[in-house]
Amino acid sequence: MRAVVYEKPFSVSVLEVPKPSILHPDDVIVKVTTTCICGSDLHMYEGRTAAEPGIVFGHENMGIVEEIGSGVTLLKKGDRVVMPFNVACGRCANCEGGRTAFCTIVNPGFGYVAMGPYPGGQAEYVRVPFADFNALVLPPGTEHEEDFALLADIFPTGWHGVQLSGFQPGESVVVFGAGPVGLMAAYSAILRGASEVFVVDRVPERLHKAREIGAIPIDFSASDPVDQIIKMRGGKEVDRGVDAVGYQAVTGDGKTEQPNVVLEALIRVVRPTGGLGIPGLYVPSDPGANDSAAAKGYISFPFGKLFEKGLTLGTGQCNVKAYNRFLRDLIVSGRAKPSFVVSHNLSLDSAAEAYEKFDKRIDGYTKVLLHP
């Protein structure tokens, strides 16, 4: 089958690789209809993780069940399904507690950023382990394909970022980063009844998208974003903040990496006893870091001010299974349409060019969906 294979930093190719097969009775094989390029893929693409050349990329996958293992009881051939980006066993203590992002069976070493032991789904087929637990069944047909594809990661992750912050309806929120996850966090806050939502970025197309959904865009290349927000609010801070940027954050020039810049800004802009949600990716090792501390995952930030203000802080990858069913139903009912972030629908063979343009943030590449 054809698949997107990582060759070296800034280089992927569509190559012929073996088609997956059933390895365990709980597996299914899914014929992929849509697979997305994620900002997390770019960390690997840029050589900023432990990802090894030769792996197949792709953790945002949906398609049609083509083959089922003998232990699968809930799914059947022909089911239309979408899978969480972080597959889980459904049986360990964390899974039983709803914290499927921290499954101790599927990923005991928590090596998610490098794809763990599983070939990805930017391919014609993908093997899904623990399939009865992981595969969310969708209405048959092709309706809402773009929206449902975003249930694999960014819609739940954006929702999770708001949840981590401790948000309550009526509160004000700032989201740093207007990439797909940041826009989903802003959209989720609006759906959940935020009074004001600010979105901080520097890319005009992204800020335009934020304005389109009713958020207030803040261009951090113009001036200090915290000063801009507090001035607009008459001297008041916001109730909640979301970091949808992570460890490759940059300063106002858009070029200088400073991994703590968003964390520092959030601590400044959120009111005393407010909350921070951090779904943005931070890693325990960064081969491309600018200094030895950041290379080992050590990032300095004003913990004293965090303590003084009594801020709460929630971190970690999204427990997709905690949200994807009701987010699916919001899509089916017409209450949510997250596909507003999708900029391009391309064939799998266009992956190399799509990665390059998405990484450079050019030609309006906001969210790319690939179709094998």
11 strand-pairing partners:
8
Looking at residues 39-59, what average pLDDT do you find? 87
Query: Which residues, 6 or more positions from 291, have their beta carbon under 8 angstroms from its beta carbon?
Result: none
Mean pLDDT of the chain: 94
The mean pLDDT value for 269-287 works out to 93
Instruction: Assess contact for 129 and 88: CB atoms under 8 A.
Output: no
Grade residue 110 by pLDDT with cuts at 50, 70 and 90: low
Q: What is the mean pLDDT of residues 293-298?
A: 90
What is residue 45's predicted lDDT score, i.e. its pLDDT?
A: 92
Q: What is the mean pLDDT of residues 214-236?
A: 98
Structure confidence by residue, pLDDT tens digits, 76-93: 999 999 999 998 999 999
- In this predicted structure, what is the pLDDT of residue 109? 60
User: Over 50: is that where the pLDDT of 111 sits?
Assistant: no
pLDDT at 108 over 80: no
Q: Find residue 219's DSSP bridge partners.
A: 201
pLDDT band at 357 (very low <50, low <70, confident <90, very high): very high
317: Cα within 13 Å, side-chain hemisphere: 21
What residues pair up with 371 in beta bridges, in sequence order?
A: 347
Q: Confidence band (pLDDT; 50, 70, 90) for 232? A: very high
| Cα distance between the two ends of the chain | 10
Q: Is the pLDDT of residue 112 over 70?
A: no
What pLDDT digit, counting tens, does each position of 197-220 carry? 999 999 999 999 999 999 999 999
Tell me: pLDDT of 43 over 90: no
What pLDDT is recorded for position 288? 83
**For residue range 29-41, what is the model confidence (pLDDT) as tens digits?**
999 999 999 888 8
List beta partners, residue 30.
Answer: 65, 126
pLDDT score of 129 more than 90: yes
Tokens representing residue 80 in the block: 């239309």
Read off the pLDDT band of 285 (50, 70, 90): confident
H/E run at residue 211? helix 204-212
C-alpha Rg value of the chain to the nearest Å = 20
Amino acid letter for position 151: L
Name the pLDDT band for 255 (thresholds 50, 70, 90): confident
Q: What is the dihedral angle through the alpha carbons of 138, 143, 149, 155, rounded to the nearest 10 degrees?
A: -90
Query: Residue 368: its pLDDT value, please?
Result: 95
pLDDT at position 117 over 80 = no
Angle, nearest 10°, between helix axes 261-269 and 225-232? 20
